[in-house]
Amino acid sequence: MATANTNLSNYDKSALPDASSFKLGIVVSEWNAEVTNGLLQGALKTLLDCGVLDHNISVHKVPGSFELIFGAKKLQTSGVDAVITIGCVVQGETKHFDYVCAGVTQGIKDLNINHSIPVIFCVLTDNNLQQSLDRSGGKYGNKGVEAAVTALKMIDFNRSI
């Protein structure tokens, strides 16, 4: 397991850019809310800790992970410097899991290819709910923290080019 020896909540604040002028949009799936709310809290806490001003963060909810693509596309044109997509898809008994995971992954990839505002992928695709809980504030930390740090680094990268 890739996160077995990794705490997703660890980051070196001194290695991150000054984020006081950064504007971020976050689009969050309401499906598996126990997980996505944990990821959102991790991302928000990290952004604020790293100097992003509260009024420069906008949070928008969509029904499920598949709808993250449309939400992110709308946010890319709203004046933000980056978009964080937060979702959770848990393996079930049908192929629905495969189709949703592939569609969301490809959709977010397409947004990154076709637009100049980075979209950060924070969509858990786990075999069971416990794995998702472990990565949304549980024993492996919080993937939302990792997504926030990635967003800050990508904004800095985008501004430097």
Q: Cβ contacts of residue 134 below 8 Å, gap of 6+? A: 3, 140
How far is residue 150 CA from its own chain's centroid? 9
Q: Cβ contacts of residue 85 below 8 Å, gap of 6+? A: 26, 27, 68, 69, 71, 72, 104, 108, 119, 120, 121, 122, 123
Is 55 among the catalytic positions?
A: no
Out of 55, 60, 96, 115, which one is annotated catalytic? 96
Measure the CA–CA gap between 121 and 102, rounded to whole angstroms: 13
Q: What is the set of active-site residues? A: 96
